[in-house]
């Protein structure tokens, strides 16, 4: 039982926010090779296009599928100053507190975060990201200079109005300091330098 909890915590720790498949794990019908653009993405970032996609797999466990959306001209080296949307589709169940804790741990790979700041950001994450189940999808929108907004299964759950939070949060996937460089490469496959 202890080993199982450790594995679940480790996998959950490598999560942060997520979305990919529709509720119930079904993908809407689309032409082969054509990415489905969800209504919330069309509203939030209307000029976006799919930049890249990948799957996070840890120790053989499939965790989530990720897709990065951004307007034309998106450059990987300056992701923190550009609007973008990250869509994660969960392939496993995770508790919100585990997602929040792992997000903070991963954000600390790029920069030191005070305990007071971590407490504020943890509270914000718990407000916008619920427990997730297989098939749930979370869309996070980076609003440069403002913060991040979130949707879960197509419904807005709120925002964290803190530009530094947003930079570090999306850096979990897009920063050169990410713990998952192969996933970063896949997400940035269609980006400029």
Q: Is residue 9 part of a domain?
A: yes
Residue 128: the pLDDT is: 98
Structure tokens at 104: 């903070």
Sequence-distant (≥ 6) Cβ neighbours of residue 154 within 8 angstroms: 38, 39, 40, 137
Q: Is residue 193 part of a domain?
A: no
Q: Is residue 112 part of a domain?
A: yes
Q: Is residue 116 part of a domain?
A: yes
pLDDT in tens, 35-88: 678 899 999 999 999 999 999 999 999 999 999 999 999 999 999 999 999 999
Q: Is residue 108 part of a domain?
A: yes
Residue 34: the pLDDT is: 53
Tens digit of each residue's pLDDT, the chain (193 residues) = 333 333 333 334 333 333 332 223 333 334 444 567 889 999 999 999 999 999 999 999 999 999 999 999 999 999 999 999 999 999 999 999 999 999 999 999 999 999 999 999 999 999 999 999 999 999 999 999 999 999 999 999 999 999 999 999 999 999 999 999 999 999 999 998 8
Q: Is residue 95 part of a domain?
A: yes
Structural domain total, the chain: 1
Structural domain of 97? 2-187
Q: Is residue 192 part of a domain?
A: no
Rounded-to-integer distance, Cα 185 and Cα 120, Å: 30
Query: Which domain CATH number covers 36?
Result: 3.50.70.10
Residue 193: the pLDDT is: 84
The pTM of the full predicted model, rounded to 2 decimals, is: 0.81
Q: Is the dihedral of CA 120, 17, 103, 134 positive or negative?
A: positive
Q: Is residue 169 part of a domain?
A: yes
Residue 64 pairs in a beta bridge with: 56, 90
């Amino acid at each position: 039982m202890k080993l199982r909890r450790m594995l679940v915590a480790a996998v959950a720790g490598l999560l942060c926010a997520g979305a990919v498949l529709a509720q119930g794990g079904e993908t809407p019908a689309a032409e082969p090779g054509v990415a489905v653009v969800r209504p919330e993405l069309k509203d939030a970032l209307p000029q976006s296009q799919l930049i890249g996609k990948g799957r996070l797999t840890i120790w053989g466990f499939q965790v989530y599928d990720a897709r990065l959306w951004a307007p034309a001209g998106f450059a990987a080296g300056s992701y923190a100053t550009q609007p973008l949307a990250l869509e994660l589709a969960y392939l496993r169940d995770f508790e919100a507190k585990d997602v929040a804790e792992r997000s903070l741990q991963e954000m600390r790979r790029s920069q030191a975060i005070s305990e007071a700041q971590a407490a504020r950001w943890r509270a914000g994450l718990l407000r916008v990201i619920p427990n997730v189940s297989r098939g749930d999808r979370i869309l996070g929108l980076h609003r440069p200079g403002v913060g991040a907004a979130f949707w879960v299964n197509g419904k807005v759950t709120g925002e964290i109005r803190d530009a530094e939070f947003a930079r570090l949060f999306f850096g979990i996937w897009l920063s050169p300091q990410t713990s998952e460089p192969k996933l970063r490469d896949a997400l940035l496959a269609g980006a400029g330098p």
